[in-house]
Homo-oligomer: A and B are copies of this chain.
Amino acid sequence: MKVDGRVERGEQTRRQILRRAAEIASVEGLEGLSIGRLATELGVSKSGVFAHFGSKEELQLATVRAAAKIFVDEVVTPAGGATGLARLERLLDGWLAYSQRRTFPGGCFFYSVQAEFDARPGRVRDSIAEFDRSWAELVRTAAADVPGLVGDPAQLAFEVVAYLDLANARSVLHGDTDAYARARTAVRRALDRATRQA
C-alpha cells in the first residue's frame, strides 16, 4: 500500500480547487468560471486543474456538489437536533445567516447559479434543479411537521422561502442589509399566523 501521501495530496488540491470554484461561481457564474483563471489564481498549471475533472462540465458539476455539501453543513445540519416549529425556525434563520455572513462572496451560491442555468438544458441545470427541489421539499416537510399548523404547509413553505430569496437578492444587489430584517419580520409573522390558536 502506498503511504507517500500522493493520493491525499491530490484530494486536498481538488478540494481547494472546488472551494475557489464555488466562490468564483457565486460572483461570476459557473459559465464565467474558466479553467485557466482558476489555475492562475491557485498557482498551478491549467492542465493541472483540467486533469482533476476531464471537462468543464464535470468541473461545474463537481462545483455544484461541493457547494451543496457546504450548504448542508451550514444550514441543514445545524437544524438537525430540533423538531416541530423549532426545526422550521432553525432552517429559515440558518439560511438567512448563511446568506448574510457571505459564506459565498456573491451571496447564496444556488440563487446565483439557478438564475444562470434555469433556462438552459443540460446536466448542470438538472443538478441545480435537483438541489432546489430537495431544499423546497425539506422546508415543506418541516412545515408539515409543525404540530397544529393552520393552513397548507406547502403554501407556507412557498411564502417563507420567497422571503429568504428576496432578502439575499436585495442584499447582494443593493448592499441593503435591511432586507434581512424585512425577511425575518415576514417569516416571524407567517409562522405566528400559521401557529395561532384558531
User: Which residues of A are at the interface with B, using a C-beta cutoff of 8 A?
Assistant: 26-29, 31-32, 105-107, 111-112, 114-116, 118-120, 125, 128-129, 132-133, 154-155, 158-159, 161-163, 165-166, 169, 172-174, 179, 182-183, 185-186
Q: A155-B182, A182-B158, A186-B155 are in contact. Are A105 and B119 (CB under 8 A)?
A: yes
Contact of A115 among B115, B125, B154 (CB under 8 A): B115
Copies of this chain, tallied across the complex = 2
Closest beta carbon of chain B to A82's beta carbon, Å: 25
A165 CA / B165 CA spacing, docked (Å): 9
A125 CA / B161 CA spacing, docked (Å): 25
- Chain B residues positioned under 8 Å from A166 (CB to CB): 158, 161-162, 165-166
Interface residues of A: mostly helix, strand, loop or mixed? helix
A132 CA / B172 CA spacing, docked (Å): 12
A31 CA / B115 CA spacing, docked (Å): 13
CB distance A116 to B119 under 8 Å? no
Contact of A132 among B111, B165, B173, B183 (CB under 8 A): B173
Contact of A128 among B106, B154, B173 (CB under 8 A): B173
CB distance B186 to A158 under 8 Å? yes
Closest beta carbon of chain B to A114's beta carbon, Å: 6
CB distance B29 to A173 under 8 Å? no
Closest beta carbon of chain B to A100's beta carbon, Å: 14
A174 CA / B183 CA spacing, docked (Å): 24
Q: A174-B133, A186-B158 are in contact. Are A169 and B115 (CB under 8 A)?
A: yes
Supply 15 A–B pairs (Cβ within 8 Å), ascending by A. Answer: A27-B120, A28-B120, A106-B119, A111-B115, A112-B118, A115-B116, A115-B169, A118-B172, A154-B182, A158-B166, A159-B159, A159-B186, A162-B186, A165-B165, A165-B169
